[in-house]
A and B are shown apart, each in its own frame.
Chain A
């Protein structure tokens, strides 16, 4: 299980060296940018396309193969079909006069092109979000992510919220992901040698095979967590104690520059959003940029 999707790979690129707090901020910021309203579909796709371009560039800098995303999307096909069915068959609001009909059934029920576009739009957003998260997790060591989180939770400390417990829980969870993956491999091998076939069979049979994996995994999870908590107790762990960190996060010039770039990108997207939402008559970025008329 060493090429797990999104697993941290210790290269030494600029993206890897950035401050985790900044990366965290940029992740959230760009994710929000995926969800701002950009007016009509032409606008939305242009904006998301630009965002996709930015993301691909970051991935290339961070030595992540952008094509590898697609191999990990296999499991999302079911979702895509599900979305498609919902968006195409469920009517798009009350006012259908502005929509473009695709198929009109004899009884007057109409399917619109917008349903298709909507699906594509949602799916594109999903992929972009996935890519963003992937960039964060594969360029930042899990512990660094928790340090960043701890830093962001700082305001909560002022109201006596035990943030260090939350961070400990998160870092433990992150720490045990590879262990659990390893363990599930072991269990699957043991079950395979008892005749379980995880790849073949219909859904009902597959569910049955999955239970042979899930139950032992849960059992060992529970016993592991009990053991871990005992071990932590034995070594005098006090959940409310004051924590010091062995790694001190420093903000470098490169972080400052990246922060600036992030803010710049953000403001561009927000401008696009504002422009397409609030200027009457000029709701088309295409027209603005190239004078082309889209639908």
Chain B
């Protein structure tokens, strides 16, 4: 059952500009509840724009995005049409965008820019409080999520501006997961982090996904896609070109066409093949299988 759906979604950044172009053009996708989705594509293909419509930060110029029963569009007539057959509660719900933003947590590229409070703890409490939690409750969830992202308790009363870039990023992510959104959207969460930081953030995201939440990640890191995603959405020049699984995507010949990188493991396999490696190298999609095959061929 889909949880997020877009229909004929088109977005133009500056309509008044005489040479405007579509940043997104006729996108139709469905994302299922509990999925781990990666959105990939070269820079400027419209990934960030697409995910911002999930949160009503960007309203589709034509067509619409639907998150459960929440309709997001700038076309008033269309919205009226869509809401016509809905119940009273749904119509009421649609009037309050805060309800949607509570449901869809969005972590931006370089989220460290959003920090503003005097202390780290207060900053993380800010989101939950905005979504109607009481102070004590907010504090509780804030402490919990700060611990989850690996910020030690001794930091809680420090200013967020004294942190390193990676630590700031964690605090910012904690600020989003503290409101426990059903859908977590992350725009390039690992850009500019060290390998360990990447691993930790992804481990955290995986843990959140395992609690049954939908996770959507925009990324250029194909290793991440291979290791975590179960669905990949490929955008190219504002258009949707493929919705598939990582294995199918990386075993097809389209990677070059979409300007996507090959994951490390496939690069390695290709090198082995080129060197005339004797063993069977087909149908390998993870590191364990690869090692098994190599050992097999070496008779270890």
Contacts and interface: CB of A to CB of B under 8 A. Distances in A.
Given A186-B108, A197-B98, A219-B161, A191 B14 contact: no
Contacts of B14: 2-3
Contacts of A211: 116
A193 B113 contact: no
B106 interface: yes
A288 interface: no
Given A195-B98, A197-B98, A189 B108 contact: yes
A194 B57 contact: no
A289 interface: no
Interface in B132-153: none
A190 B13 contact: no
B101 interface: yes
A202 to B, nearest CB: 15
A215 B122 CA distance: 14
Contacts of B113: 183, 186-187, 190, 216, 220
Given A2-B17, A186-B108, A219-B161, A193 B116 contact: no
Interface residues of A: mostly helix, strand, loop or mixed? helix
Of the four ranges (under 10, 10 to 19, 20 to 34, 35 or more), the interface on chain B belongs to: 20 to 34
Contact of B114 (A2, A3, A194): A194
B57 A192 contact: yes
Nearest to B97: A197
A277 interface: no
Contacts of A191: 114
A189 B58 CA distance: 9
Given A3-B16, A194-B176, A196-B130, A189 B52 contact: yes
Contacts of B209: none
Given A195-B127, A195-B179, A196-B130, A2 B101 contact: no
Contacts of A220: 113
B105 interface: yes
Interface residues of A, number: 20
A212 B13 CA distance: 25
B106 to A, nearest CB: 4
Contact of A215 (B105, B111, B116, B175): B116
Contacts of B98: 195, 197
B16 to A, nearest CB: 6
A186 B130 CA distance: 19
B126 interface: yes
Contacts of A189: 52, 57, 108
Interface string B206-223: 000000000000000000
B65 interface: no
Given A2-B17, A3-B16, A195-B130, A216 B116 contact: yes
A249 to B, nearest CB: 29
Given A190-B113, A197-B98, A216-B116, 10 more contacts: A183-B113, A187-B113, A187-B114, A191-B114, A193-B55, A194-B101, A196-B130, A216-B115, A219-B115, A220-B113
17 contacts: A2-B14, A186-B113, A189-B52, A190-B113, A190-B114, A192-B55, A192-B101, A193-B55, A193-B57, A193-B108, A195-B101, A195-B127, A195-B130, A197-B97, A211-B116, A216-B113, A219-B115
Interface of B: 13-14, 16-17, 52, 55, 57, 97-98, 101-102, 104-106, 108, 111, 113-116, 126-127, 130-131, 161, 175-176, 179
